[in-house]
Amino acid sequence: MRISAIVIRIIKQFLRDKRSFALLFIAPLLVLTLIWLVLDGNEYEPAVAYDTLPPFIEEIFHSQFSGEIEEMSETEANAKFQDGELDAFITFENMELSIILEGSNPTANGAVLKNVQDILKSLNKEGMGEPNISYYYGSEDINIFDQVGSVLVAFLVFFFVFILGGISFLRERTQGTLEKLLSTPIRRWEIVTGYLLGFGLFTVIQSVIILVYSVYVLDIWMAGDFWQLLIVTLLLAITALTLATFLSAFANNEFQMMQFIPLVILPQVFFSGLFPLDTLDRWIQIISKFMPLTYGADAMKEIMIKGNNIWDIWIDLFVIFGFAIVFFVLNILALKKHRRL
């Protein structure tokens, strides 16, 4: 009897929590759809440039290479590498092909190499050796972990700050201390700022630990400056924190806070550069522009793999910071629900 009473009580509670109920069914579908969307993209068509190819090879490339291919000088190619518009540059010297791969995108590297090897098979009769492969960013030592690692670091920081900050701000409400605080002359922005700074301190420590661990222990590919990377990480953490505290206004308990993970966090992972977006539908690319992690992951990649400086990626940082400010203001407005002043 007692057991069935408990079972019935739980069923009732669950049915009355419409959001948890809906999430149980809708969230798995959402995540499945996301994975499908990402993995079902069209085959990647690399953009390749060449110089000094003998006419017969040039002809074969033009007829057989699937992707963009055009002739340009090495200087032009370098500029395009830096703009991220070129995946490989192919030259021919001493009866050997040299391929410079862009290096930061594993899918593009693979697509170029597969394409070139297919073409070489038909050329092999004419006694040519294996192509020389070199990398514009990184080297052949750069592996999948190095390439996704930068995105992963950004994600981990974002994820854990989100959970930590969101739930503690929520607890402030559920344990009644937010109401008590609002019965004092404290201003709403003071509460939000206090949270931001208090947790900001922990995010500094967290960011340092994650970065030190990935760069020095896991020996992840790191071409840039550690301190600049730390600044990017911190900016991203602050954005996660402001987003979390803002969203916690719309959760009634810890469980509902967790429900934001598949809705808000996971989509950002899929669209933040772990998988190439170039092949996906335009609407997905547009959605990704509204996600802070897109800019965070890009900034991390630029510093860690390409060795760029923060002033080279100021647009990313500016956008991330902009997100933080927007969430911060929204958070203050959301507290109006509890006290108008």
Partner 1 sequence: MAIIHVKNVSHSFGKEKVLDNVNLLIQEGEIFGLLGPSGAGKTTLVKLIVGILEATQGEIVISGKAVPSLELLTDIGYMAQADALYSELSAKENLQFFAQIYRLKKQMQRERIDNVLKVVGLSDHANKTINQFSGGMKRRLSLSIALLHQPKLLILDEPTVGIDPVLRQSIWSELRKLKEDGMTIIVTTHVMDEAEKCDRLAMLRDGRIIACDTPERLKEKLRVSSLEDVFLAYGGGNL
Binding map of partner 1 across residues 184-223, x = CB under 8 A, - = no contact: xxxx------------------------------------
Distance CA 134, CA 74 (A): 14
Query: Please, are residues 148 and 221 in contact by the beta-carbon 8 Å criterion?
Result: no
E strands present in 144-221: none
Least distance between partner 1 and beta carbon 273 (Å): 38
Least distance between partner 1 and beta carbon 164 (Å): 14
Of residues 54, 55, 127, 176, which one binds partner 1 by CB under 8 A?
A: 176
Q: Which stretch binds partner 1 (CB under 8 A): 49-57, 179-187, 217-225, 262-270?
A: 179-187
Instruction: Verify binding: residue 182, partner 1, rule CB under 8 A.
Output: yes
Burial (CB count within 10 angstroms: exposed 0-12, middle 13-18, buried 19+), residue 272: buried
Counting every residue written for the chain, the total comes to: 341
Alpha-helical (H) ranges within the chain are 2-16, 18-39, 55-64, 74-83, 106-123, 144-174, 177-182, 188-212, 226-248, 254-258, 260, 266-269, 282-288, 292-304, 314-334
Instruction: Verify binding: residue 339, partner 1, rule CB under 8 A.
Output: yes
Of residues 4, 63, 94, 183, which one binds partner 1 by CB under 8 A?
A: 183
Instruction: Verify binding: residue 19, partner 1, rule CB under 8 A.
Output: no
Distance CA 183, CA 185 (A): 7
Instruction: Verify binding: residue 181, partner 1, rule CB under 8 A.
Output: yes
Q: Which is nearer to partner 1, 19 or 339 (CB)?
A: 339
Matching residue, tokens 């391929």: 99
Least distance between partner 1 and beta carbon 336 (Å): 10
Cβ-based neighbour number of residue 300 at 10 Å:
29
Query: Please, are residues 122 and 202 in contact by the beta-carbon 8 Å criterion?
Result: no
Instruction: Verify binding: residue 164, partner 1, rule CB under 8 A.
Output: no
State both tokens at 214: 């990935």
Instruction: Verify binding: residue 334, partner 1, rule CB under 8 A.
Output: no
State both tokens at 150: 């930068």
- Site size toward partner 1, by CB under 8 A: 16
Binding map of partner 1 across residues 229-268, x = CB under 8 A, - = no contact: ----------------------------------------
Of residues 9, 175, 198, 219, which one binds partner 1 by CB under 8 A?
A: 175
Write out the residues near partner 1 by the rule CB under 8 A. Answer: 175-177, 179-187, 338-341
